[in-house]
Structure 1
Amino acid sequence: MDKFSDYPTSLTAPARDAAAVVPNDAADLPMLPRALYVGVSGDISARLAGGQAVLFRNVPSGSVLAVRARGVNATGTTAAGIVALW
């Protein structure tokens, strides 16, 4: 039973869904996530919702990046086990 199923999902609420991210220099994610989980430490090259490209260096494993990324680039990304949180 989910007592909170009628509550709206806001950006500060816990994620309800997740999907593995396959870094790709051209393809966007199917929808904008609320954050990215990083399973294996490294760099993440992301394309943000506002159109900016950014490189997050040395992201530790187990981190949650609170960014709305429309895509994660293969070029420049050395982190692995990336999961989009919705």
Structure 2
Amino acid sequence: MADDYHGITSLTGPGFDGFAITPDDGADLSQVTRGIYLGQAGDLRVTLAGGQTVTFTNMAAGGIHGLRIRRVWASGTTAADMVGLC
């Protein structure tokens, strides 16, 4: 899995690329995100770049969340229409 931002301490600049995310309990994303857009609000279960699996409850739709994600889990995720930013 590519991680173009490993070791970079500031990720405040705009994203330069994006990809649709389909939650999957068995596979990591092809790229670690630098942010995620949610088209529909809900819970988001993810494995972060550092390896921790956490669930963010009641995530808002329509904004970019600054999360470095390696996996979005199908189980435990109710948010939808996700776009990973890199």
TM-score, normalised to structure 1, is: 0.85
Partner residue in 1 for 2:46: 46
Runs of 4+ in structure 1 off by over 6 angstroms are none
Question: Alignment RMSD, CA only?
Answer: 1.0
Which structure would you say has the larger Rg?
1
Gaps of 5+ in 1: 1-9
Partner residue in 2 for 1:59: 59
Partner residue in 2 for 1:6: none
Partner residue in 2 for 1:31: 31
Rounded to whole Å, the distance in 2 between the matches of 1:21 and 1:58 is 18
Moved more, 62-71 or 46-55: 62-71
Report SS of the residue matched to 2:67: coil
Number of residues of Structure 1 aligned to a counterpart in Structure 2: 77
Rounded to whole Å, the distance in 1 between the matches of 2:25 and 2:66 is 21
Rounded to whole Å, the distance in 1 between the matches of 2:25 and 2:65 is 19
Shift of 1:64: 1.6
Q: Which amino acid aligns with 1:62?
A: G
Q: Which amino acid aligns with 1:36?
A: I
Rounded to whole Å, the distance in 2 between the matches of 1:77 and 1:31 is 19
Gaps of 5+ in 2: 1-9
TM-score, normalised to structure 2, is: 0.85
